[in-house]
Structure 1
Amino acid sequence: MRIAVFIILSCLIGNDANSQIHKRYLRQGNKAYADSNYAAALHYYNNSFDTASTYNKAQFNLGNAQYRNMDFQGSMNSFAMQAEKSIDKKEKAYAYHNLGNSYLAQYQMASKMAEQASPDTAQMLAQAGFNYLKESVEAYKNSLRNNSTDDETRHNYALAKKLMEQMQSESKGGGENDQNQEQEDKQQEQEKEQDQNKNKEEKEQQEQNREQQEGENEKNDEQEQKGDKEKGDEEGEHGETDPKKLSKQDAEKILEALKNKEEKLHQKILKKKKPSKVIKIEKDW
C-alpha cells in the first residue's frame, strides 16, 4: 500500500514538475519575443511544446515566433494544427486569422521572387502565389465564422480576396493581351515596311526628277547655244555694213551725182551742135 501511494505521489510530483518546466519555457519564450529576439523565443517555445505537446499556448506562440522569423511554412503548420484541435471558438478564430496572415505573407514572398525570376519560373511562382491567396481567403473566412466581429480579420479577408480577383483578371486577360501585343507588333512591322517602301519610292522619284531636270537643262543649253550661233550669223549678214556693198543712202548719192553729171554733159552737147536746115515741102498742084 505504501508502495502504491509512493508511486502515485511520485507520478503526481513528476507531472507537476513537467508542468512547471513547459510553463517556464513558455515564460522565457514570451520574454524573448517581447524583446524581439525571435530566434531565442522560437527555441523556448519549441522546448515548451516538446515538453507538453497538448499545451495550446506553446503551439500558438510557436507559430508566432516562426512567422516573425519568416518561416511561413512552419507558422502555417503550427496555426493549422492549433485551429484544428482548439475547442474554444475565440482561440480557433485567432489561429485561423494567423493562418491567413501566413498564407498572405507567403504570397507576398512569391510575388517578389517572381519579379527577378525567368519567365517560366515567374509563371510558376505566380501560380503558387495565387494558391496562397486562395488559402488565405479561406482561412480568414473560417476565422470570421468563429468571430464575426473581428474588424482586422474582415479587412485582411477583403484585401486577400481583392488580390486574388486581380490575379484572376490578369490571368484571364493575359492571352488576349499577348494576342493584342502580337497583333500590334505585326501592325508596327507592316507600317515600318510601308514607310521604307514609301521612302524608297520617293527617293527613286526624286532621282528620276533630278535626271529629268538635268536632261531639260542640257537641252536648254543646247538650244541657247544654237540660238546664239544663228544670231551671230544673222548679225554677220545684216548687222554690220559689208565693205563690198554700198548702203542705200550712198547709192542714192552716187545716182544723183551721175544724173547731174549726165545733165551737164547733155547741155554741153546741145550747145556745140548746129541747128539743121529747114526744108519746106509744098505740094505741087
Structure 2
Amino acid sequence: MNKSIFILILLVTTFSFAQEQEKEDEKVIRKANNYVYEGNTLLADKEDFVSAEMAYRKAISAKSTTTAGIYNLGNSYYKSKNYDEALYRLDQASKTATSKEEKHKAFHNMGNILMKNKKCKEAVEAYKSALRNDPTDDETRYNLAIAKECAEQQKDQNKDNENKDDKDKKDQDKKDENKDKGDNKEDNKDKGDQDKKEGDDKKDDQGKPKEEKDNKEPQQPKPQPGQLSPQQIKNLLEAMNNQEQKVQEKVNAEKQKGVKVKTDKDW
C-alpha cells in the first residue's frame, strides 16, 4: 500500500474518532445540564430540596466536572440549612469552575455559609477570593467589611477569655498555696501542742518537774578485775568467824580435861 494513502486513511480515521468523541461529550454535557435544569425547577416551583438534590447528584454523576450541578447542589444544601455539606460542595465548585464569574459566586456563597457558622476569620478569606475574581461586586465588598468587624470582635473575645483563664489559674494557684501554708501552720501547731502536753506530763501540779520513780533495787557496783565483790567478802568473813569459833571450842575442851564432873548440882 502506498505510504501516502496509509497516512490519508489514518487521518480520516482519527478525525472521525474525534468527531464521535465530541458528539459523545456533547451528549454527556446535555444530559448533565438537563439534570441541573430539573433540579433548578424543583427548587423554584416546589422547593423540593430532596428531589432537587437527587437531580443535581445525577448531573454530577453524568459529568463529574459540571460546575453548575455542583454549585446548585451546594446552594440547595445552603437553603435547607445543611451548611457543612453546602460548604463542601461550593468549595468543590470553586475548584472545578472555569470562569471567574463561577468562581466568584462559589467563594461569595462560601463566605455567607462561614458567617452562618460564626467562622468570621475564614469568611474574610472567602470574600477576598470572591473579590479577586470580581472586584466590582459591592455586595461581596460589604459582606467582607462585616466579616472583618466580626473577626476583630472574636479576636478580642478570645483574648479576654485567655486573660480570664490566666487570672483564674493564678487565683487558684494562690488559693492552693495559701491552703498549703495553712495546713503546715496547723501541723506545726498540733506538734507544738503535743510537745507542750508531753512537757506538762513531766511536771506536778505546781509546775515543778516530777521526780522519776524507780522501784528497782539499787544495783550493786560491779567489782573491778582482781577484786572481791562485797558478797564474796561477807561470805569469807563468815567462814573465818566459824573457823575461829571451832578453834576456840577445841581449846576450851582441852582445858577441861582432868576436871571431875560434878554429880550434884550446886544450889
TM-score of the aligned structures, taking structure 1 as reference length:
0.48
**2:127: which partner in 1?**
140
- The reply to whether residue 28 of structure 1 matches residue 38 of structure 2 is yes
Q: 1:8 Cα shift?
A: 7.5
Q: What is the CA–CA distance in structure 2 between the aligned matches of 1:141 and 1:13, rounded to whole Å?
A: 39
**1:170-209 matches, cutoff 5 A:** 170-176=157-163
- The reply to whether residue 45 of structure 1 matches residue 56 of structure 2 is yes
Note if contact 2:65-2:96 (Cα within 8 Å) is conserved in structure 1: no
Q: What is the CA–CA distance in structure 2 between the aligned matches of 1:5 and 1:91, rounded to whole Å?
A: 33
* 3-state SS in 1 of match to 2:102: helix
Q: What is the CA–CA distance in structure 2 between the aligned matches of 1:67 and 1:161, rounded to whole Å?
A: 22
* Residue of structure 2 aligned with 1:92, choices 100, 103, 123: 103
**1:68: which partner in 2?**
79
**1:80: which partner in 2?**
91
Q: Alpha-carbon deviations, 1:81-135, whole Å to 9, x = none? A: 222232322221111101111211222xxxxxxxxxxxxxxxxxxxxxxxx2221
Q: What is the CA–CA distance in structure 2 between the aligned matches of 1:142 and 1:8, rounded to whole Å?
A: 37
Q: What is the CA–CA distance in structure 1 between the aligned matches of 2:16 and 2:133, rounded to whole Å?
A: 46
**1:270: which partner in 2?**
none
Note if contact 1:66-1:75 (Cα within 8 Å) is conserved in structure 2: yes
Q: What is the CA–CA distance in structure 1 between the aligned matches of 2:72 and 2:132, rounded to whole Å?
A: 22
- The reply to whether residue 155 of structure 1 matches residue 146 of structure 2 is no
Note if contact 1:101-1:136 (Cα within 8 Å) is conserved in structure 2: yes
Q: What is the CA–CA distance in structure 1 between the aligned matches of 2:29 and 2:101, rounded to whole Å?
A: 24
Segments of structure 2 that go 5 or more residues without pairing to the other structure are 1-12, 171-267
Q: What is the CA–CA distance in structure 2 between the aligned matches of 1:144 and 1:11, rounded to whole Å?
A: 37
Which amino acid in structure 1 is aligned with residue 139 of structure 2?
E
Q: 1:20 Cα shift?
A: 3.0
Kindly, what percent of the aligned residue pairs are identical?
29
- Structure with a larger share of its residues in helix: 1
Aligned residues: 160
- 1:158/1:5 Cα in 2 relative to 1: closer, same or farther (>3 Å)? closer
Note if contact 1:22-1:51 (Cα within 8 Å) is conserved in structure 2: yes
Q: 1:79 Cα shift?
A: 1.6
